[in-house]
């Protein structure tokens, strides 16, 4: 600046606010001519208005996608259409926000003053900086009230509600339903062919998969029944006597659902008297109340209390006394 030039004065509306306040000289460490309120379409009001209407159109279509999602879901659901509505709706919302930020909001780099000799700012200067930072938000709300209040808020509400509407398909809360299977007192053990299991049907070291009578298709209830011969079984506290003694043979039953990830425990090592889950090789020692001795399973297979009717058919004395399935039950708090 030459001696004949008058110093540039900060107006408070154009230029980087260094906290000095309106009417003070332009800071020496700030390049002249900066304008922190500039945005690409500021000098073309007609194009700016057209951009507003275009963004509004995109968001209205997004809202219609939300309505379509609700209608399809209420009519019974169709996964492909629901996915398409979600894709188009979220996509148009995102495109509208990008166009808004790129064309209608200040977003270029400016240089702010660090103050005289880098001194500590006064309370007045700090307040001025805060006011400067809020200027962009205030301008967005005031200049773009049409987009924010009349389009974005209602469209966002409609589409947001529609997007979470399919959560109802998750069904009712399970409550304590997962703590129980279809086994009940007096239920006969039947094979997948619905044939009742007699105590003499299982040979020593033999294994069979059975279900509660009347509930062959229930996924929580499959049980493996084994004849352990005369080998003694070590029962856990509260579960003694769950096996059936027939002559010299002992018959035990355990849940077939692995306590690691819910796979079917379907392999039997006769020599070691161990049940093995083929998914992750969790291994359970039958003679130790099916306690895990190898692999990731965190707890034993639940044992089903067995009884025998006068005619020799095996029955359940009750449901399992503990939850079946993966070890997340250990963290359920109940």
Max CA separation in the chain (angstroms):
120
Provide the pLDDT for residue 240.
80
CA 177/CA 175 separation, integer angstroms: 6
Kindly state the tokens that stand for 124.
């007045």
pLDDT tens figures, 303-323: 999 999 999 999 999 999 888
Taking residues 36-45, report their average pLDDT.
Answer: 78
The answer to the question of residue 237 being in a domain is: yes
pLDDT number for residue 292: 93
With 0-12 / 13-18 / 19 or more C-beta atoms within 10 angstroms meaning exposed / middle / buried, residue 105 is middle
Report how far residue 307's alpha carbon sits from residue 276's, in angstroms, rounded to the nearest whole number: 25
Radius of gyration of the chain (CA): 37
In-domain check, residue 252: yes
pTM of model > 0.95: no
Crossing angle for the helix pair 153-164 and 79-103, nearest 10 degrees? 150
Rounded to 5 degrees, what are φ and ψ at 260?
-95, -65
Average pLDDT, integer, range 263-275: 91
What CATH number corresponds to the domain at position 316? 2.102.10.10
Residue 104 domain-assigned (yes or no): no
Round to the nearest angstrom and report the end-to-end CA distance of the chain. Answer: 79
Look at residue 21 and tell me if it is in a domain.
no
**What is the average pLDDT across 275-287?**
93
Percent of the chain with pLDDT over 70: 70
Query: What's the rounded mean pLDDT across residues 81-94?
Result: 87
| Cα(241)–Cα(252) distance, integer angstroms | 10
Q: What is the tally of structural domains in the chain?
A: 1
Give me the pLDDT at residue 258, please: 93
Q: In whole angstroms, what is the distance from residue 233 CA to residue 240 CA?
A: 9
- Res 332 pLDDT > 70: no
Q: Which tokens belong to 256?
A: 């077939």
Which range is most confident: 87-101, 157-171, 210-224, 227-241?
210-224
Predicted confidence band of residue 66 (pLDDT cuts 50, 70, 90):
confident
- Which structural domain range is residue 204 located in? 182-331
| Three-class secondary structure of residue 227 per DSSP | strand
Distance CA 301, CA 287 (A): 12
pLDDT at 224 over 90: yes
296 part of a folded domain: yes
Residue 259 CB coordination number (10 Å)? 27
pLDDT score of 208:
93
DSSP 8-class letter at 187: P
Which of 136-140, 267-271, 324-328 is predicted with the least confidence, judged by mean pLDDT? 136-140
Q: Considering the domain boundaries, does residue 45 fall inside one?
A: no
Note whether residue 284 is domain-resident.
Answer: yes
Residue 290 lies in a domain: yes
Between 166 and 9, where is the model more confident? 166
> Which string of DSSP letters, residue by residue, matches 85-105?
HHHHHHHHHHHHHHHHHHHTS
Q: From CA 288, how far away is CA 272, in angstroms rounded?
A: 11
């Amino acid at each position: 600046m030459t001696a004949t030039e008058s110093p540039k004065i900060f107006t408070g509306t154009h230029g980087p606010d260094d906290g000095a306040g309106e009417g003070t000289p332009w800071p020496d460490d700030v390049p002249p001519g900066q304008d922190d309120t500039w945005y690409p379409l500021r000098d073309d009001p007609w194009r700016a208005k057209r951009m507003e209407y275009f963004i509004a159109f995109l968001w209205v279509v997004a809202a219609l996608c939300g309505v379509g999602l609700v209608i399809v879901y209420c009519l019974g659901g169709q996964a492909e259409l629901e996915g398409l509505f979600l894709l188009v709706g979220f996509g148009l919302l995102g495109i509208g926000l990008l166009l808004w930020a790129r064309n209608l909001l200040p977003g270029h780099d400016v240089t702010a003053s660090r103050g005289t000799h880098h001194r500590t700012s006064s309370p007045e200067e700090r307040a001025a900086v805060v006011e400067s930072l809020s200027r962009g938000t205030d301008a967005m709300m005031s200049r773009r009230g049409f987009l924010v209040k009349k389009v974005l808020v209602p469209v966002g509400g409609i589409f947001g509600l529609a997007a979470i509407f399919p959560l109802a398909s998750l069904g009712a809360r399970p409550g304590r339903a997962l703590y129980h299977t279809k086994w009940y007192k007096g239920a006969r053990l039947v094979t997948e062919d619905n044939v009742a299991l007699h105590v003499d049907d299982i040979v020593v070291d033999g294994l069979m998969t059975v279900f509660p009578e009347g509930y062959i298709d229930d996924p929580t209830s499959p049980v493996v029944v084994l004849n352990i011969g005369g080998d003694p079984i070590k029962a856990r506290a509260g579960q003694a006597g769950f096996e059936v003694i027939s002559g010299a043979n002992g018959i035990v039953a355990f849940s077939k659902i692995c306590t690691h990830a819910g796979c079917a425990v379907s392999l039997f090592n006769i020599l070691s008297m161990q049940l093995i889950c083929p998914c992750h090789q969790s291994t359970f020692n039958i003679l130790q109340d099916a306690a895990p001795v190898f692999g990731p399973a965190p707890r034993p297979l639940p044992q089903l209390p067995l009884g025998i009717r006068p005619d020799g058919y095996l029955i359940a004395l009750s449901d399992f006394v503990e939850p079946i399935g993966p070890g997340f039950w250990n963290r359920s708090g109940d």
